[in-house]
A and B are shown apart, each in its own frame.
Chain A
Amino acid sequence: MWEHFAHQADIGIKATAESISKAFEDAALALTAIVTDPKKVDAVECVEIECSAEEDELLFINWLSSIIYEMDVRKMLFSRFEVQIENLTVHAKIWGEKINQIKHSPAVEPKAVTYNQLSVKEENGKWTVQCVIDV
């Protein structure tokens, strides 16, 4: 489950799930939703991502930064995510397609992931992850 939350200049993304991996996957959907409706993005091409960090919050930043990088250099949007997290390392497969101006009418490009309102928390078996994306 994901949502966007308000930030005066940019856009906040937040996801809640039963595992940290699932929360990371849902947050990635929220990232795509900044650009376009993820339902409009066909999961036809797969890209693999691996990244690590010293702690969960930085891992979350690195995960989203890696997706933004792939979006930018491949000119792609992604709509399906499979994340495994082991020892503070993300192993992920992400699926999507090339950006099509007419099909996706992309609203705005995510420039970078900020540390603003950043948190990765577990409470009563629920993981909540959030941060603000610079657009």
Chain B
Amino acid sequence: MVKPPLKRVGEYCWRVEPFGRMTVPGIIFADNNLINDIDEKTISQVCNVAALPGIVKASFAMPDAHMGYGFCIGGVAAFDPDDGGVISGGGVGFDIACGVRTFHTGLTVDEIEGLRERLAESLFRDIPAGVGSTGNIILTSGKLDDMLAGGAIWAVEKGFGTKEDLDFIEEHGRMKGAMPEKVSPQAKKRQQEQMGTLGSGNHYLEVQKVVEIYDNAIAEGYGLKKGDVMVSVHCGSRGLGHQIGTDYLREMASQAGSFGIELPDRELASVPVNSPLGQDYLGAMRAGVNCALANRQILTALIRRVFSEIFHKAQLKMLYDVSHNTAKMEEHEVNGKIKMLLVHRKGATRSFGPGSSDLPPRYKSFGQPVLIGGTMGTSSYILAGSTQSESLAFSSACHGAGRSMSRTAATKRWQGSQIVKELAGRRIIIKSRSMRGLAEEAPDAYKNVSAVVEATANAGLAKKVAKLLPIICVKG
């Protein structure tokens, strides 16, 4: 495969001019090194998306872009439903609304010093994680539908967390327009015992410390101080989301042709947003978003319980919760006009700038917190949505480091036990039920998250606010 010609159009911006069936350009945000890491398969995925009907402006890739299926990971694309715009299951992925939730603990690094091991043990014991783990909540079909319609609001009503939490969740805790009746019985069955579980793979729970502040005003607005202990959770909609993805991808792949949509890759299966199947998927996918929000809300309650048992002073207050695998109807400016578009973010984070009506009042003048997960051994970052991001890529930013090495290659190169030992030397406690799982998730199997964040900030997609380092990591 030949790498399509890339033209540098800015210090952190590269462009693929439309060719073949592309109707818009491909735009990739990266620095000199990151662009070289983005292989031809990833770029051809960016180009394939640029050929889908109704795409507006460009097919974008964030600095953490790497090969996905259909869309690349780190892909952003908006479609105009009034102009035959499509919705694509592959543009959301199987882990619907996978995302990051970060909260303050009210504690400083010094205050947890002697209790780090105990805290790690308790979190590992009490937070269900890994393959085959089940939560303590079993939902029958009717209750599951309530959860799918209510999201984190449902979870709060059931006693998990507080109403104050909801203000600091994307969509205020509940995605409107969810249609639980469009979610298959199989998807619901997969979820019955999985509420309040972390999952596996790259999902994790981390206790972190704030080590650097880049923007004092925004950090103060977000309530962040150097030395603060934070907690971040990275997980998604579990079996339910995976099955919704499976069910609808199958349907979309078989119906795409009837709408005259030629698929360069079956994984790009798409149908018009305004078709019955498009609307059904949108309703089911939104139910998946609510499932992820409810799941992270339940996990929050479990984490709070662990902290309160160990630290009387602990107060876990939400910083923010934002997903990075979604398709959302949003208003954006196109050629001077406000249009309602369906924005797909596949491994990309929404990054609304200051003034956005979706932001909680406290953050309104600072922009939306953009939560960037690192890997076990590397830093995570808190960024803030910028005003510029809107015109650059429909208010989107990166979502993490992005893999640079396959899992098969990682397991050949590293051993889990060796990683645990090395990180222990850096005072990072790792808890996992699988040593092979750890090897697959080796920090060096990922791109340099700091470089990704630097390129994101320099490209203007978001502002750097704070850097966090891991203290404890419970791997899923």
Binding site for B on A (CB under 8 A): 4-11, 35, 54, 58, 61-62, 65, 68-69, 72-73, 75, 98-99, 101, 105-109, 111-116, 118, 132, 134-135
Contacts and interface: CB of A to CB of B under 8 A. Distances in A.
B173 interface: no
Contact of B132 (A54, A58, A99): A99
A21 B130 CA distance: 31
B242 interface: yes
Contacts of B269: 115
Main secondary structure of the interface of B (DSSP, over half): mixed
B172 interface: no
Contact of B434 (A106, A118, A132, A134): A106
B250 A7 contact: no
A116 B434 contact: no
A112 B245 contact: yes
Contacts of A75: 132, 134, 193
Contacts of A109: 131-132, 199-201
Instruction: Among B193, B249, B254, find the residue whose CB has the most chain A CB atoms closer than 10 A.
Output: B249
Q: Which of A58, A106, A108 has the most CB of B within 10 A?
A: A108
Nearest to A11: B407
A107 B94 contact: no
Given A7-B406, A75-B134, A116 B267 contact: yes
Nearest to B134: A75
B250 A107 contact: no
Interface of B: 39, 42, 66-70, 73, 93-95, 130-134, 186, 189-190, 192-193, 199-201, 239, 242-243, 245-246, 249-250, 253-254, 265-267, 269, 403-409, 433-437, 440
A105 B436 contact: yes
B435 A7 contact: no
A73 B407 contact: no
B69 A107 contact: no
B267 A106 contact: no
Nearest to B194: A72
B245 A35 contact: no
Contacts of A135: 200-201, 407
Nearest to A5: B408
A4 B433 contact: no
A69 B436 contact: no
18 contacts: A6-B409, A8-B39, A8-B406, A9-B67, A9-B406, A11-B407, A58-B250, A65-B246, A69-B186, A75-B193, A106-B131, A107-B131, A107-B440, A108-B440, A109-B132, A111-B201, A112-B242, A115-B265
Contacts of B134: 75
Contacts of A114: 69, 94, 267
A43 B245 CA distance: 30
A54 B249 CA distance: 15
